Amino acid sequence: MTKILEVENLNVAFNGVRVLEDLNFSVEDGDALTIIGPNGSGKTVLLKTLLNLIPYQGKITWKKDIKTGYLPQTLFLDQSLPLTLREFLMSKINVTKTDPNDLEETLKLVRLPEDSLNHSLGRLSGGQIQRALVAFALIGNPDVLLLDEPTASIDPPGEEQIYDTIHNLQDMKKLTVIIVSHDLSLVYRYATKVLCLNKQQICFGPPEETLTTKKLEELYGAPHKFYHHLHDGSTH
Amino acid sequence: MVLPISFTITSMTEALTSNTLYINLAIGMASAAGIIGPFAIMRRLALASDPISHVALPGLGVALLLKINPLVGAAFALIIGAILIWQLEKRTGLSTDVLIGVIFSVSLALGSLITPDEELIDALLGSYTSVGLIEFIIGLIASAFIIGFVLYQKHRLTLASLSPDLARTSGLDTNRLNLYFLLAFVLTMILGLRYLGVLLMGSLIIIPAAVGKNLGWSLNSMLVVGSITAVLSTGLGLLIAPRFDLEPGPAIIVVAAILFFLSFFLKRRD
């Protein structure tokens, strides 16, 4: 497999306070990398740094001509703005010079009904917005998807659907996925690699080898009930 | 080149009837203000647009003192203001709005001191002036340029206004686009200064866009409704003002405000 992303000695600081310290990892073509860590551990900062939205020190090397799709954690949306879903998605189609006919297919991939195109974003439910954002990330045929807590504001059944959708897309389109998540069961189900982050890199590698009880304790502090959850057959 | 301009109020009705160029330029200017306004709202410039227009006053005052075309001085000051806002927007500090509030209010105070008393009210609230042919042509080209810019860059402006992060990760050079937008924004203000003055020009950009937001069902419809509202407010304002011996600026904004309140009742409730 070819290397798609290489991160070496990555450091990020805000006003002299170090937020990410000395990260080293790589992502290969077709990988599903999940970044886990407690609140404030720098997960979102890492994702934004990889996308060159935040200044950093160190080296981030993407494979040449790679196209990325990004799903932010939240979209601060003026609910009363009459911007339709079609106009929102068309803005990216236009900027990335994608064929507008791809719009319907993308909508089907994220399981959004076609009539939702004419609804304003403010009228869509939390789950629909999240799907719309996945659709937005998919426009322009990216090779890599970077997703920041794609199920942040969604109820458990909706969460399940979103992850299934992403997983199916990964299989169908041979995408590489980098995903920030709180959900450890997800790591076991879908991730080929996991990066544990608490400002520093606590662990990195295939989840079954990397996520030891000791590492999780180091990452989250005191022992947690999620160990039971992890080995509970119902999550698989 | 110094363009022929007069800031003295002649007989208002006479000025209106004898100068159709004045009215036609107003319509062009209002169309531009109406179409750029929705993006100013989307970029959360609604509150900042007033202080930005205030920065025109010191430039206008200095130009009057130097006996050159006041609009040239105002344009100069506004372009500096746009570059300043552009730089402030790039900073992530929370103090941007405070800085805008301070710098631009101070510029209003300084401008008031510099501008000769007899010209001050006109500069603040707009006036009836004769519009020369060259000025008319330049104004119309500028209006068309603003409208063309917004329509051509519509998708990019939408994305950059909605989420700078999404815009940048989609491959947009948001920094450059921001500068272009702010320059188009102050160009609209320059065009409207003679009609609305430095105190009210920001309102002709924001109020019609707010009407568009109330009545629109999509971004496109918001642009259309915004432009129609701006043109209607300007046209009706200029028609009504001389009959009641009013300054044009306040008359235009009162009409716009009435349309805004009406739009509340007609607001789509789905």
What CATH number is attached to the domain comprising B58? 1.10.3470.10
Look at residue B15 and tell me whether its pLDDT is greater than 60. no
Question: Closest approach of chain B CAs to the CA of A82, in angstroms?
Answer: 5
The chain-wide mean pLDDT, for chain A, equals 85
State which residue of chain A sits closest to B270, comparing Cα positions: A123
Report the residue of B91, B162, B174 to disrupt the A interface, i.e. the one with the largest count of A CBs within 10 Å: B162
Residue A203, pLDDT score: 87
Compute φ and ψ for A60, nearest 5 degrees. -120, 115
More confident residue, A188 or A171: A171
Pick from B159, B213, B219: CB nearest A80:
B213
Question: Could you tell me how many helices (H) and strands (E) chain B has, helices first?
Answer: 13, 0
* Predicted confidence (pLDDT) per residue in B57-89, tens digit: 999 999 988 988 888 999 999 999 889 888 887
Cα separations (Å) of B237 from B7, B218, B250? 19, 28, 8
**CB atoms A83 and B213 under 8 Å:** no
* Residue range A37-78, pLDDT digits in tens: 888 889 999 999 999 999 999 999 999 989 999 999 878 888
Closest to B184 (Cα-Cα) out of B224, B135, B139, B149: B149
Domain A1-66+181-236, classified CATH 3.40.50.300, yes or no: yes
- Which has the minimum average pLDDT: A186-190, B16-20, B111-115, B172-176? B16-20
CB neighbour list of residue B151: distance below 8 Å, 6 or more residues apart: B35
- Determine, for residues B155 and A80 on separate chains, whether the beta-carbon distance falls below 8 Å: no
pLDDT band at A170 (very low <50, low <70, confident <90, very high): confident
Looking at residue B7, its pLDDT comes to: 42
B192: left (phi over 0), alpha (psi -120 to 50) or beta: alpha
- Tally of domains in chain B: 1
Inter-chain touch B165–A70, beta carbons under 8 Å:
yes
Q: What single-letter amino acid sits at B210? A: A
Domain that holds residue B17: 12-199
- pLDDT (0 to 100) of residue B120: 87
pLDDT digits (tens, 9 = 90+) for B94-130: 556 677 778 788 888 999 898 888 888 888 888 888 8
Give the start-to-end residue ranges of the domains of chain A.
Answer: 1-66+181-236
* Any domain includes B216: no
Pairwise CB contact (< 8 Å): B218 & A84: yes
**Cβ–Cβ gap A120/B222 under 8 Å:** no
Distance CA A82, CA A227 (A): 46
Residues B194-231: tens digit of each pLDDT: 899 888 999 999 999 999 999 999 999 999 999 999 99
**Whether ipTM exceeds 0.90:** no
User: Is residue B256 over pLDDT 90?
Assistant: yes
Residues 6+ apart with CB under 8 A from B50: B199, B202, B203
Question: What pLDDT is attached to residue B96?
Answer: 65
- Across the interface, whether the CB atoms of B162 and A136 are under 8 A apart is answered no
Q: State chain B's mean pLDDT as an integer.
A: 86
Q: Which residues of B touch A94 (CB under 8 A)?
A: 155-156
Assigned domain for B222 exists? no
Chain B residues with CB within 8 Å of chain A CB: 42, 155-156, 158-159, 162-163, 165-172, 213, 216-222, 270
C-beta atoms of A91 and B159 within 8 A? yes
Assigned token pair, B189: 């203000």
